[in-house]
Amino acid sequence: MAEFTMELNDDQKQVRDWIHGFAADVIRPAAAEWDEREETPWPVIQEAAKVGIYSLDFYAQQFFDPTGLGVPMAMEELFWGDAGIALSIVGTGLAAIGVLANGTEEQIGTWIPQMYGTPDDVKVAAFCSSEPDAGSDVGAMRTRAVYDQAKDEWVLNGTKTWATNGGIANVHIVVAVVDAELGTKGHASFIVPPGTPGLSQGQKFKKHGIRASHTAEVVLEDVRVPGSCLLGGKDKLDERLARAREKAAAGGERVKNAAMATFEASRPAVGAMAVGTARAAYEVALDYAKTRTQFGRPIIDNQGVAFQLADMRTQIDAARLLVWRASWMAVAGKPFTSAEGSMSKLYASEVAKKVTAQAVQILGGNGYTREYPVERMHRDSAIYTIFEGTSEIQRLVIARTLAEMPIR
Protein backbone atom coordinates (compact mmCIF):
# COMPACT_ATOMS: atom_id res chain seq x y z
CA MET A 1 0.00 0.00 0.00
CA ALA A 2 1.42 3.36 -1.04
CA GLU A 3 1.75 6.07 1.58
CA PHE A 4 -0.35 9.15 1.07
CA THR A 5 1.61 11.88 -0.64
CA MET A 6 0.86 15.29 -2.10
CA GLU A 7 3.81 15.08 -4.49
CA LEU A 8 3.50 13.38 -7.87
CA ASN A 9 6.38 11.10 -8.82
CA ASP A 10 8.33 11.52 -12.06
CA ASP A 11 6.19 9.04 -14.01
CA GLN A 12 2.98 10.74 -12.89
CA LYS A 13 4.34 14.15 -13.81
CA GLN A 14 5.22 12.86 -17.27
CA VAL A 15 1.70 11.49 -17.77
CA ARG A 16 0.18 14.71 -16.40
CA ASP A 17 2.21 16.85 -18.79
CA TRP A 18 1.29 14.59 -21.71
CA ILE A 19 -2.44 14.86 -20.95
CA HIS A 20 -2.14 18.59 -20.33
CA GLY A 21 -0.47 19.01 -23.71
CA PHE A 22 -3.30 17.17 -25.44
CA ALA A 23 -5.88 19.25 -23.57
CA ALA A 24 -4.10 22.50 -24.51
CA ASP A 25 -3.31 21.64 -28.13
CA VAL A 26 -6.33 19.57 -29.20
CA ILE A 27 -9.25 19.99 -26.79
CA ARG A 28 -9.17 23.72 -26.05
CA PRO A 29 -8.96 24.93 -29.67
CA ALA A 30 -12.06 22.84 -30.48
CA ALA A 31 -14.07 23.65 -27.34
CA ALA A 32 -16.08 26.66 -28.51
CA GLU A 33 -17.00 25.05 -31.85
CA TRP A 34 -18.40 21.84 -30.38
CA ASP A 35 -20.17 23.72 -27.60
CA GLU A 36 -22.01 25.72 -30.26
CA ARG A 37 -22.71 22.65 -32.41
CA GLU A 38 -23.97 20.64 -29.45
CA GLU A 39 -22.72 17.47 -31.11
CA THR A 40 -20.38 14.64 -30.18
CA PRO A 41 -16.83 15.73 -31.16
CA TRP A 42 -15.93 12.57 -33.06
CA PRO A 43 -12.73 14.03 -34.59
CA VAL A 44 -11.40 14.93 -31.12
CA ILE A 45 -12.28 11.50 -29.73
CA GLN A 46 -10.45 9.97 -32.69
CA GLU A 47 -7.38 12.08 -31.97
CA ALA A 48 -7.53 10.96 -28.34
CA ALA A 49 -7.71 7.35 -29.52
CA LYS A 50 -4.71 7.79 -31.82
CA VAL A 51 -2.48 9.05 -29.02
CA GLY A 52 -3.78 6.45 -26.56
CA ILE A 53 -5.92 8.57 -24.25
CA TYR A 54 -9.23 7.14 -25.47
CA SER A 55 -8.58 3.52 -24.61
CA LEU A 56 -9.19 0.99 -21.88
CA ASP A 57 -5.44 0.58 -21.38
CA PHE A 58 -5.05 4.25 -20.51
CA TYR A 59 -7.81 4.23 -17.90
CA ALA A 60 -6.65 0.89 -16.49
CA GLN A 61 -3.15 2.31 -15.97
CA GLN A 62 -4.55 5.30 -14.10
CA PHE A 63 -7.04 3.18 -12.14
CA PHE A 64 -4.34 0.80 -10.91
CA ASP A 65 -1.94 3.57 -9.93
CA PRO A 66 -1.01 2.44 -6.38
CA THR A 67 -1.09 6.01 -5.06
CA GLY A 68 -4.68 6.51 -6.20
CA LEU A 69 -3.77 9.79 -7.90
CA GLY A 70 -3.74 8.58 -11.50
CA VAL A 71 -7.47 8.98 -12.15
CA PRO A 72 -7.99 12.38 -10.44
CA MET A 73 -4.84 13.73 -12.11
CA ALA A 74 -6.06 12.64 -15.57
CA MET A 75 -9.59 13.94 -14.98
CA GLU A 76 -8.38 17.33 -13.79
CA GLU A 77 -6.20 17.87 -16.86
CA LEU A 78 -8.80 16.72 -19.40
CA PHE A 79 -11.55 18.83 -17.86
CA TRP A 80 -9.14 21.76 -17.61
CA GLY A 81 -9.22 21.56 -21.41
CA ASP A 82 -13.02 21.55 -21.72
CA ALA A 83 -15.72 19.81 -19.73
CA GLY A 84 -18.01 18.91 -22.63
CA ILE A 85 -15.33 17.39 -24.84
CA ALA A 86 -13.65 15.71 -21.88
CA LEU A 87 -16.92 14.06 -20.88
CA SER A 88 -17.28 12.76 -24.43
CA ILE A 89 -13.81 11.23 -24.09
CA VAL A 90 -14.30 9.68 -20.63
CA GLY A 91 -18.04 8.85 -20.85
CA THR A 92 -17.44 5.37 -22.23
CA GLY A 93 -15.39 4.59 -19.15
CA LEU A 94 -18.50 4.40 -16.93
CA ALA A 95 -19.95 1.57 -19.03
CA ALA A 96 -16.55 -0.14 -19.21
CA ILE A 97 -16.19 0.02 -15.42
CA GLY A 98 -19.63 -1.53 -15.06
CA VAL A 99 -18.50 -4.54 -17.10
CA LEU A 100 -15.11 -4.74 -15.38
CA ALA A 101 -16.70 -4.66 -11.94
CA ASN A 102 -19.48 -7.17 -12.55
CA GLY A 103 -18.76 -9.09 -15.75
CA THR A 104 -17.16 -12.45 -16.39
CA GLU A 105 -13.75 -12.69 -18.06
CA GLU A 106 -15.47 -13.66 -21.30
CA GLN A 107 -17.81 -10.65 -21.13
CA ILE A 108 -14.90 -8.31 -20.40
CA GLY A 109 -12.87 -9.64 -23.30
CA THR A 110 -15.80 -9.61 -25.71
CA TRP A 111 -17.55 -6.32 -25.03
CA ILE A 112 -15.07 -3.74 -23.77
CA PRO A 113 -13.08 -3.66 -27.04
CA GLN A 114 -16.37 -3.06 -28.86
CA MET A 115 -17.05 -0.08 -26.60
CA TYR A 116 -13.94 1.77 -27.80
CA GLY A 117 -13.54 0.50 -31.35
CA THR A 118 -10.25 1.39 -33.02
CA PRO A 119 -8.44 4.70 -33.67
CA ASP A 120 -9.66 4.50 -37.29
CA ASP A 121 -13.23 3.59 -36.30
CA VAL A 122 -13.95 4.88 -32.80
CA LYS A 123 -17.04 3.77 -30.91
CA VAL A 124 -18.62 4.90 -27.64
CA ALA A 125 -20.60 3.13 -24.94
CA ALA A 126 -23.41 4.19 -22.61
CA PHE A 127 -24.30 3.32 -19.02
CA CYS A 128 -28.05 3.57 -18.55
CA SER A 129 -29.31 3.73 -14.97
CA SER A 130 -31.34 6.91 -14.32
CA GLU A 131 -35.00 7.05 -15.26
CA PRO A 132 -37.59 9.85 -15.49
CA ASP A 133 -38.86 8.92 -11.99
CA ALA A 134 -35.68 7.32 -10.61
CA GLY A 135 -32.68 9.58 -10.33
CA SER A 136 -31.35 9.84 -6.81
CA ASP A 137 -34.04 7.35 -5.74
CA VAL A 138 -32.74 4.21 -7.49
CA GLY A 139 -35.34 2.20 -5.62
CA ALA A 140 -38.04 3.75 -7.86
CA MET A 141 -36.59 2.14 -11.01
CA ARG A 142 -39.26 0.79 -13.37
CA THR A 143 -37.29 -0.75 -16.22
CA ARG A 144 -37.92 -4.50 -16.06
CA ALA A 145 -35.95 -7.51 -17.26
CA VAL A 146 -37.86 -10.79 -17.57
CA TYR A 147 -36.13 -14.10 -18.26
CA ASP A 148 -37.45 -16.21 -21.16
CA GLN A 149 -36.17 -19.62 -20.13
CA ALA A 150 -37.26 -21.38 -23.33
CA LYS A 151 -35.02 -19.13 -25.44
CA ASP A 152 -32.41 -18.28 -22.77
CA GLU A 153 -33.08 -14.59 -23.39
CA TRP A 154 -33.81 -11.57 -21.22
CA VAL A 155 -36.59 -9.21 -22.32
CA LEU A 156 -36.07 -5.55 -21.33
CA ASN A 157 -38.75 -2.87 -21.25
CA GLY A 158 -38.55 0.68 -19.93
CA THR A 159 -37.12 4.15 -20.49
CA LYS A 160 -33.74 5.42 -19.33
CA THR A 161 -32.80 9.07 -19.20
CA TRP A 162 -29.76 11.29 -18.77
CA ALA A 163 -27.65 8.64 -20.52
CA THR A 164 -24.30 9.92 -21.73
CA ASN A 165 -23.91 8.57 -25.30
CA GLY A 166 -27.44 7.14 -25.04
CA GLY A 167 -28.72 5.97 -28.42
CA ILE A 168 -25.47 6.65 -30.29
CA ALA A 169 -23.47 4.08 -28.35
CA ASN A 170 -22.19 0.88 -29.90
CA VAL A 171 -22.80 -0.95 -26.62
CA HIS A 172 -25.34 -0.02 -23.93
CA ILE A 173 -25.16 -1.24 -20.34
CA VAL A 174 -28.67 -1.18 -18.86
CA VAL A 175 -29.62 -1.54 -15.20
CA ALA A 176 -33.03 -3.17 -14.76
CA VAL A 177 -35.28 -4.68 -12.10
CA VAL A 178 -35.40 -8.48 -12.05
CA ASP A 179 -37.19 -8.86 -8.69
CA ALA A 180 -39.28 -5.85 -7.66
CA GLU A 181 -39.97 -7.22 -4.16
CA LEU A 182 -36.27 -6.97 -3.24
CA GLY A 183 -35.99 -3.25 -3.95
CA THR A 184 -32.51 -2.14 -4.99
CA LYS A 185 -31.14 -5.63 -4.26
CA GLY A 186 -33.34 -6.95 -7.07
CA HIS A 187 -31.47 -5.02 -9.77
CA ALA A 188 -29.16 -6.47 -12.42
CA SER A 189 -27.13 -5.09 -15.33
CA PHE A 190 -27.36 -6.19 -18.94
CA ILE A 191 -25.26 -5.73 -22.07
CA VAL A 192 -27.28 -4.62 -25.08
CA PRO A 193 -25.20 -5.45 -28.18
CA PRO A 194 -24.95 -3.16 -31.24
CA GLY A 195 -28.01 -3.11 -33.47
CA THR A 196 -30.31 -4.92 -31.04
CA PRO A 197 -33.95 -4.46 -32.16
CA GLY A 198 -36.19 -2.51 -29.78
CA LEU A 199 -33.56 -0.10 -28.44
CA SER A 200 -33.93 3.44 -29.70
CA GLN A 201 -32.89 6.94 -28.80
CA GLY A 202 -35.58 9.06 -27.24
CA GLN A 203 -35.27 12.75 -26.56
CA LYS A 204 -31.82 14.26 -26.98
CA PHE A 205 -31.42 16.94 -24.36
CA LYS A 206 -30.37 20.48 -25.25
CA LYS A 207 -28.35 21.38 -22.21
CA HIS A 208 -27.20 24.50 -20.37
CA GLY A 209 -23.60 23.26 -20.36
CA ILE A 210 -21.36 20.31 -21.34
CA ARG A 211 -22.99 20.64 -24.74
CA ALA A 212 -20.34 18.63 -26.60
CA SER A 213 -21.39 15.58 -24.60
CA HIS A 214 -24.40 13.69 -26.00
CA THR A 215 -27.13 13.16 -23.39
CA ALA A 216 -30.38 11.43 -24.29
CA GLU A 217 -33.17 9.08 -23.33
CA VAL A 218 -32.89 5.41 -24.24
CA VAL A 219 -36.17 3.60 -24.96
CA LEU A 220 -36.33 -0.17 -24.53
CA GLU A 221 -39.30 -1.91 -26.16
CA ASP A 222 -39.22 -5.71 -25.90
CA VAL A 223 -35.45 -5.66 -26.24
CA ARG A 224 -34.23 -9.26 -26.28
CA VAL A 225 -30.65 -10.03 -25.32
CA PRO A 226 -29.03 -13.46 -24.96
CA GLY A 227 -28.65 -14.93 -21.49
CA SER A 228 -24.91 -14.43 -21.88
CA CYS A 229 -25.51 -10.66 -21.77
CA LEU A 230 -26.49 -10.68 -18.09
CA LEU A 231 -23.43 -9.24 -16.35
CA GLY A 232 -21.89 -11.89 -14.14
CA GLY A 233 -24.14 -14.66 -15.41
CA LYS A 234 -27.42 -16.16 -14.19
CA ASP A 235 -25.93 -18.48 -11.58
CA LYS A 236 -24.33 -15.55 -9.80
CA LEU A 237 -27.55 -13.54 -10.02
CA ASP A 238 -29.65 -16.41 -8.65
CA GLU A 239 -27.29 -16.82 -5.69
CA ARG A 240 -27.39 -13.10 -4.92
CA LEU A 241 -31.19 -12.95 -5.13
CA ALA A 242 -31.51 -16.01 -2.90
CA ARG A 243 -29.35 -14.40 -0.21
CA ALA A 244 -31.38 -11.20 -0.44
CA ARG A 245 -34.64 -13.13 -0.04
CA GLU A 246 -33.28 -14.97 3.01
CA LYS A 247 -32.32 -11.68 4.66
CA ALA A 248 -35.70 -10.18 3.80
CA ALA A 249 -37.47 -13.17 5.33
CA ALA A 250 -35.34 -12.86 8.46
CA GLY A 251 -36.41 -9.29 9.00
CA GLY A 252 -34.46 -7.40 6.38
CA GLU A 253 -30.99 -6.72 7.70
CA ARG A 254 -30.25 -3.02 7.32
CA VAL A 255 -26.95 -2.71 5.50
CA LYS A 256 -25.41 -0.07 3.31
CA ASN A 257 -26.73 -0.31 -0.24
CA ALA A 258 -24.02 -1.74 -2.51
CA ALA A 259 -24.77 0.66 -5.36
CA MET A 260 -24.51 3.64 -3.05
CA ALA A 261 -21.19 2.33 -1.74
CA THR A 262 -19.93 2.07 -5.33
CA PHE A 263 -20.97 5.65 -6.04
CA GLU A 264 -19.20 6.76 -2.87
CA ALA A 265 -15.94 5.30 -4.23
CA SER A 266 -16.38 6.83 -7.71
CA ARG A 267 -17.30 10.36 -6.63
CA PRO A 268 -13.72 11.66 -6.18
CA ALA A 269 -13.25 11.34 -9.95
CA VAL A 270 -16.17 13.72 -10.49
CA GLY A 271 -14.65 16.03 -7.90
CA ALA A 272 -11.43 16.03 -9.96
CA MET A 273 -13.41 17.03 -13.04
CA ALA A 274 -14.83 19.98 -11.12
CA VAL A 275 -11.35 20.96 -9.93
CA GLY A 276 -10.16 20.99 -13.55
CA THR A 277 -12.95 23.34 -14.64
CA ALA A 278 -12.44 25.61 -11.64
CA ARG A 279 -8.70 25.77 -12.21
CA ALA A 280 -9.19 26.65 -15.87
CA ALA A 281 -11.52 29.54 -15.02
CA TYR A 282 -9.20 30.77 -12.26
CA GLU A 283 -6.22 30.83 -14.63
CA VAL A 284 -8.15 32.86 -17.21
CA ALA A 285 -9.27 35.32 -14.52
CA LEU A 286 -5.76 35.63 -13.08
CA ASP A 287 -4.21 36.34 -16.47
CA TYR A 288 -6.96 38.85 -17.27
CA ALA A 289 -6.52 40.62 -13.93
CA LYS A 290 -2.79 40.99 -14.56
CA THR A 291 -3.21 42.47 -18.05
CA ARG A 292 -6.47 44.43 -17.85
CA THR A 293 -5.83 48.04 -16.80
CA GLN A 294 -8.35 50.44 -15.30
CA PHE A 295 -7.52 53.84 -13.81
CA GLY A 296 -3.95 53.43 -14.97
CA ARG A 297 -3.09 50.13 -13.27
CA PRO A 298 -3.83 46.38 -13.61
CA ILE A 299 -7.07 45.45 -11.89
CA ILE A 300 -5.25 42.86 -9.77
CA ASP A 301 -3.80 45.84 -7.88
CA ASN A 302 -7.31 46.43 -6.56
CA GLN A 303 -7.84 44.59 -3.30
CA GLY A 304 -11.40 43.65 -4.24
CA VAL A 305 -10.11 41.66 -7.23
CA ALA A 306 -6.93 40.36 -5.57
CA PHE A 307 -8.82 38.95 -2.60
CA GLN A 308 -11.26 37.15 -4.89
CA LEU A 309 -8.36 35.50 -6.68
CA ALA A 310 -6.77 34.55 -3.37
CA ASP A 311 -9.99 32.89 -2.23
CA MET A 312 -10.40 31.13 -5.59
CA ARG A 313 -6.93 29.61 -5.47
CA THR A 314 -7.32 28.56 -1.83
CA GLN A 315 -10.64 26.85 -2.51
CA ILE A 316 -9.31 25.04 -5.59
CA ASP A 317 -6.32 23.69 -3.70
CA ALA A 318 -8.54 22.62 -0.78
CA ALA A 319 -10.89 20.83 -3.19
CA ARG A 320 -7.99 19.02 -4.85
CA LEU A 321 -6.67 17.85 -1.48
CA LEU A 322 -10.07 16.42 -0.53
CA VAL A 323 -10.23 14.63 -3.89
CA TRP A 324 -6.70 13.23 -3.53
CA ARG A 325 -7.37 12.09 0.03
CA ALA A 326 -10.52 10.20 -0.99
CA SER A 327 -8.82 8.74 -4.06
CA TRP A 328 -5.93 7.46 -1.97
CA MET A 329 -8.31 6.05 0.63
CA ALA A 330 -10.23 4.16 -2.06
CA VAL A 331 -7.15 2.50 -3.56
CA ALA A 332 -5.68 1.82 -0.11
CA GLY A 333 -8.84 0.11 1.06
CA LYS A 334 -9.49 2.67 3.79
CA PRO A 335 -13.17 2.81 4.81
CA PHE A 336 -14.98 6.09 4.15
CA THR A 337 -16.08 6.39 7.77
CA SER A 338 -17.06 10.03 7.27
CA ALA A 339 -18.20 9.71 3.63
CA GLU A 340 -14.93 11.22 2.43
CA GLY A 341 -15.83 10.37 -1.18
CA SER A 342 -19.00 12.42 -0.99
CA MET A 343 -17.16 15.17 0.87
CA SER A 344 -14.70 15.55 -2.01
CA LYS A 345 -17.39 15.61 -4.66
CA LEU A 346 -19.60 18.01 -2.70
CA TYR A 347 -16.88 20.55 -1.98
CA ALA A 348 -15.21 20.43 -5.40
CA SER A 349 -18.57 20.80 -7.16
CA GLU A 350 -19.57 23.81 -5.12
CA VAL A 351 -16.11 25.36 -5.60
CA ALA A 352 -16.40 24.95 -9.38
CA LYS A 353 -19.69 26.84 -9.46
CA LYS A 354 -18.38 29.60 -7.20
CA VAL A 355 -15.00 30.03 -8.87
CA THR A 356 -16.39 30.13 -12.40
CA ALA A 357 -18.95 32.73 -11.31
CA GLN A 358 -16.18 34.83 -9.77
CA ALA A 359 -14.16 34.50 -12.97
CA VAL A 360 -17.07 35.91 -14.97
CA GLN A 361 -17.32 38.78 -12.49
CA ILE A 362 -13.61 39.59 -12.70
CA LEU A 363 -13.79 39.72 -16.50
CA GLY A 364 -16.86 41.96 -16.25
CA GLY A 365 -18.76 42.39 -19.50
CA ASN A 366 -16.16 40.36 -21.35
CA GLY A 367 -16.79 37.44 -19.04
CA TYR A 368 -20.44 37.44 -20.00
CA THR A 369 -19.69 36.98 -23.69
CA ARG A 370 -18.70 33.88 -25.62
CA GLU A 371 -15.53 35.63 -26.74
CA TYR A 372 -13.98 34.47 -23.48
CA PRO A 373 -14.12 30.85 -22.23
CA VAL A 374 -15.23 31.61 -18.67
CA GLU A 375 -18.80 32.01 -19.86
CA ARG A 376 -18.75 28.42 -21.11
CA MET A 377 -16.92 27.18 -18.02
CA HIS A 378 -19.56 28.79 -15.81
CA ARG A 379 -22.32 26.99 -17.70
CA ASP A 380 -20.41 23.71 -17.59
CA SER A 381 -19.79 23.93 -13.84
CA ALA A 382 -23.49 23.66 -12.99
CA ILE A 383 -23.53 19.96 -13.83
CA TYR A 384 -21.13 18.98 -11.06
CA THR A 385 -23.63 19.73 -8.31
CA ILE A 386 -26.22 17.61 -10.14
CA PHE A 387 -24.85 14.41 -11.68
CA GLU A 388 -23.34 11.48 -9.75
CA GLY A 389 -25.57 12.59 -6.90
CA THR A 390 -26.72 16.16 -6.28
CA SER A 391 -25.08 18.28 -3.62
CA GLU A 392 -28.15 17.67 -1.49
CA ILE A 393 -27.67 13.91 -1.81
CA GLN A 394 -23.97 14.28 -0.91
CA ARG A 395 -24.93 16.12 2.26
CA LEU A 396 -27.50 13.43 3.04
CA VAL A 397 -24.90 10.68 2.58
CA ILE A 398 -22.39 12.52 4.76
CA ALA A 399 -24.96 13.22 7.47
CA ARG A 400 -26.24 9.65 7.56
CA THR A 401 -22.68 8.32 7.69
CA LEU A 402 -21.81 10.58 10.60
CA ALA A 403 -24.98 9.45 12.36
CA GLU A 404 -24.03 5.80 11.68
CA MET A 405 -27.25 5.30 9.75
CA PRO A 406 -27.58 3.09 6.63
CA ILE A 407 -27.33 4.75 3.23
CA ARG A 408 -30.29 3.70 1.12
The residues annotated with a catalytic role in the active site are 388
Residue 222 per-residue DSSP state = E
d(CA 263, CA 142): 20
Report which residue type is found at 311: D
**Spatial contact of 107 and 230, defined as CB atoms under 8 Å apart:** no
CA atoms within 13 A on the CB side of 80: 24
Strands 215-226 and 153-164: antiparallel
Interacting residues of 49 by C-beta distance below 8 A, sequence separation 6+ = 55, 116, 117, 118, 119, 122
Could you give phi then psi for residue 177, rounded to 5 degrees?
Answer: -90, 125
The answer to whether 259 and 397 have CB atoms below 8 angstroms apart is no
Nearest to 165 by CA among 102, 119, 122: 122
State how beta strands 297-298 and 293-294 pair: antiparallel
**Cα–Cα nearest to 100, from 161, 158, 43, 56:** 56
Phi/psi zone of residue 190: left (φ > 0), alpha (ψ -120 to 50 degrees), beta? beta
3-state secondary structure of 150: coil
